[in-house]
Amino acid sequence: MSSYGGVIISDQWLQSQFTQVELRSLISKFNSVKNQNGKVMAEDLPPLMVKLKAFRDMYSEEDIRGTLSGLGSNFSDEIDFESFLKAYLNLQGQTTAKLGGSKNSSSFLKATTTTLLHTISESEKASYVAHINSYLGDDPFLKQYLPLDPATNDLFNLAKDGVLLCKLINVAVPGTIDERAINTKRVLNPWERNENHTLCLNSAKAIGCTVVNIGTQDLIEGRPHLVLGLISQIIKIQLLADLNLKKTPQLVELVEDSNDVEELLSLPPEKVLLKWMNFHLQKAGYKKPVSNFSSDVKDGEAYAYLLNVLAPEYCNPATLDAKLNERAKLVLDHAERMNCKRYLSPKDILEGSSNLNLAFVAQIFHERNGLTTDSKKISFAEMMTDDVQTSREERCFRLWINSLGIATYVNNVFEDVRNGWILLEVLDKVSPGSVKWKQASKPPIKMPFRKVENCNQVVKIGKQLKFSLVNVAGNDIVQGNKKLILAFLWQLMRFNILQLLRNLRSHSQGKEMTDADILNWANNKVKSTGRTSRMESFKDKSLSNGIFFLELLSAVEPRVVNWNLVTKGESAEEKKLNATYIVSVARKLGCSIFLLPEDIMEVNQKMLLTLTASIMFWSLQQAVDDTERSPSPVDVSPATSINGEDESSSSLGGEISNLSIDDTASDTTVTSQFENEGSTASTPSTPVGDGIRAEEKGCIAVQ
């Protein structure tokens, strides 16, 4: 498929300093200042670099000009892309020094992030290898490669084909990937490897991983810190999967009365785990509350109290009196007798390894949570869970919002949007410049009227975007009116879809894109292959068998569907097989989607619209990629952001203009919709989660 490939630099050291996503973004910036002769002059660099987010608030054009002069640049000379990268690195090094070290740097190229200086935690690597050996050791395909040796690079080498990462995602959230869509054989060609990693990254986003600044090429190369960061997120999701009232209704014991259940529902899993730990520590007489999985557990005392109250039969009276190192060993001996896996060593406890301590406590919770079964409380918790946690629309909107790369991570849509801040962040993404940040209040917000002000601005912007908001006020959002919140988010998502697809059309002259345009495109695409299937609308009941969408996927990329795996879709089981296959094939193609197989089987018209639009967006993007692919040694692929600046984002992608709706290629430029250079600087920067936030090129991330 045309989406495969990377930006290739002849200087291997220079290439190692950047991820593929970063290179794609920078080369897009570089190409944007070429003159009529296709050349970039050194004099073009200062005005270009001053616009980059890494340097925007740090330097003036004159500062950058002076720096480049000091490097011996002659501003009348032509400059190539590699020279531009070297200048970028030099300027970035000065930025890091100016800010007093990498800790305060706003750029991705911190001192400890480059390949030569980056270090990975060998303890984490060993723990994750043990986890993989344990959970995937019996896998029919992987057992020929397992167990892995943590002392070698076996983990990173095996991850290069993508099979391991896809299988690990299915361990974390069973059924996420239809394994029939994974390319599994001993030797994969470049296309097959790329497909596996595309499927992996889009599926990782679909289970809640934050994936920014990583591309399929980075995984194919097996870059250790990126691979390990992604694996750590996947394992964390697996270990924390039961820390909610739906899976473990006994957690309701952590709150004193039913009025606090909603607060418990809104907590992220890590906070629930801390709340559970403190609940038992308080019962055990431990006086100091534990607020993190690092400094608060380094002395081992909290662990000793926790294990003693959960499994007193294995208690060693000498634990609390022992010295720190010996106490850590005794704690782990106690845990071992409870059949808990050792995700950490005594050294990891003493050093306060946050990821490994969290994994250790989560394992203890799974083995013995020590909660009682108050039937009255549990029944109430189950009732609350049915109302919130099982809402597929809430799930889709939550994952969609998190895929946009906004600063705030959403754990529960209904609770987290009530102060208005997250909705303002999303609005600023899909309609840059629409939010007046000076009139907004950033959390934590103590005064209720400030929340109402935020939500009033949300409603005002919605009306400006022509949303249907009759008799809707900001206070409705503050009060958590679920029906209105879902209605608003759907209109926001749909606006984003239609807006970007409109921008793909050639000579649209401002004509609005409609649902009918998407419907007609899909029908025409299938018809062009000689097939007779069509859909009358997005609520056409015949769509439940999945055949139309498989034919549509095959129409945009003939080799992506294996028709030997497709059923007739006559029974409920056959429909489920087809629907599951559709979701994985679409992700494998490059679509970042969050709908569930049930949405196809039940013909959920909202979700089917987003699926069709995502396939359409991908198809139109490929025409741009094929037209603009450079024959030079520097192979151009549309970019995802560098320093948060998307050039062709998979989260409702890059905005592509001047492309006709029938896939006719034309001279177009991939630009950013989500990370518009002109957007306000008042919005907060996106935090890095677990050492990695990745976003892979693909389709519209509306799901």
Q: Is the pLDDT reported for residue 163 higher than 70?
A: yes
Looking at residue 255, its pLDDT comes to 84
Give the pLDDT score at 119.
60
- Asked if 458 and 574 touch (Cβ cutoff 8 Å), the reply is no
Average pLDDT estimate for 328-356? 90
**Residue 209 and residue 690 in contact, taking contact as beta carbons nearer than 8 Å:** no
Rounded to an integer, the average pLDDT of 611-634 is 71
pLDDT of 457 strictly over 50 = yes
Q: Which residues contact 478 (CB under 8 A, 6 or more apart)?
A: 418, 419, 420, 448, 451, 452, 455
Highest mean pLDDT among 169-173, 631-635, 670-674: 169-173
The one-letter code for the residue type at 55 is F
Residue 257 main-chain phi, psi, to 5 deg: -145, 170
Identify the sign of the CA torsion 526, 531, 536, 539: negative
Nearest of 243, 244, 232, 242 to residue 204 by alpha carbon: 232
What are 679's two structure tokens?
């957007």
The encoded tokens of residue 289 equal: 């509350």
Q: What pLDDT, in 10s, does the model give residues 237-252?
A: 999 999 988 888 889 8
Structure tokens at 444: 């934590």
Average confidence score pLDDT of the chain: 80
Q: Give the separation between CA 476 and CA 507, rounded to whole angstroms.
A: 40
Who has greater pLDDT, 316 or 526?
526
- Residue 645 forms beta bridges with which residues? 642
CB 603 within 8 A of CB 540: yes
pLDDT for the residue 398: 92
Residue 98 is predicted with a pLDDT of 53
Q: Of residues 522 and 215, which shows the higher confidence score?
A: 522
202 touches 592 (CB < 8 A): yes
pLDDT tens digits, 385-394: 444 334 788 9
Determine if the pTM surpasses 0.85.
no
Give yes or no for residue 658 having a pLDDT over 60. Answer: no
| pLDDT on residue 207 | 93
186-211 pLDDT per residue, tens: 899 999 999 999 999 999 999 989 88
Is residue 433 helix, strand or coil?
Answer: coil
Give dist(CA 352, CA 22) in Å, integer: 32
The secondary structure of 680-698 as a DSSP string is: -TTSPPPPP-TT-----S-
The Cβ-side half-sphere exposure at 609, using a 13 Å CA radius, reads 20
Would you give the end-to-end CA distance of the chain in angstroms? 23
Residue 8 has pLDDT above 70, yes or no: yes
- Does the bond joining 147 to the residue before it have cis omega, within 30 degrees of 0? yes
pLDDT band at 406 (very low <50, low <70, confident <90, very high): confident
Neighbours of 520 (CB within 10 A): 13
pLDDT of 665? 30
Residue 349 has pLDDT above 50, yes or no: yes
200: amino acid identity, one letter: C
Residue 176 has pLDDT above 90, yes or no: yes
380: pLDDT confidence band, cut at 50, 70 and 90? low
Q: What is the mean pLDDT of residues 623-636?
A: 49
CA-wise closest residue to 320 among 344, 293, 284: 284
What pLDDT does 107 receive? 27
Whole-number pLDDT of residue 438: 94
Q: Which residue has the higher pLDDT, 630 or 542?
A: 542
| Residue 129: pLDDT over 90 | yes
pLDDT at residue 13 in the model? 66
At 19 the pLDDT is 73
What is the percent of the chain with per-residue pLDDT over 90, rounded to a whole number? 52
Statement: residue 689 has pLDDT above 50: no
432 cis-preceded (ω within 30 degrees of 0): no
Angle at 399 between CA 469 and CA 278, to 5 degrees: 110
Q: What are the pLDDT digits (tens) for 273-303?
A: 999 999 999 999 998 999 999 999 999 999 9
Could you tell me which residues come within 8 angstroms of residue 703 by beta carbon, excluding any fewer than 6 positions away?
206, 396, 399, 400, 592, 593, 594, 595, 607, 610, 611, 614
Contacts of 513 by beta carbon, 8 Å cutoff, 6+ apart: 498, 499, 501, 502, 505
Distance of CA 497 to the CA centre of its chain: 19
> Band of the pLDDT at 695, cuts 50, 70, 90?
very low
Mean pLDDT throughout 502-519? 73
Residue 700: pLDDT band with limits 50, 70, 90: very low
The residue with greater pLDDT, 25 or 607, is 607
Backbone angles phi, psi at 342, to 5 degrees: -90, 90
Contact indicator for 548, 579 with CB cutoff of 8 Å: no
Strands (E), 553-693: 655-656, 670-671
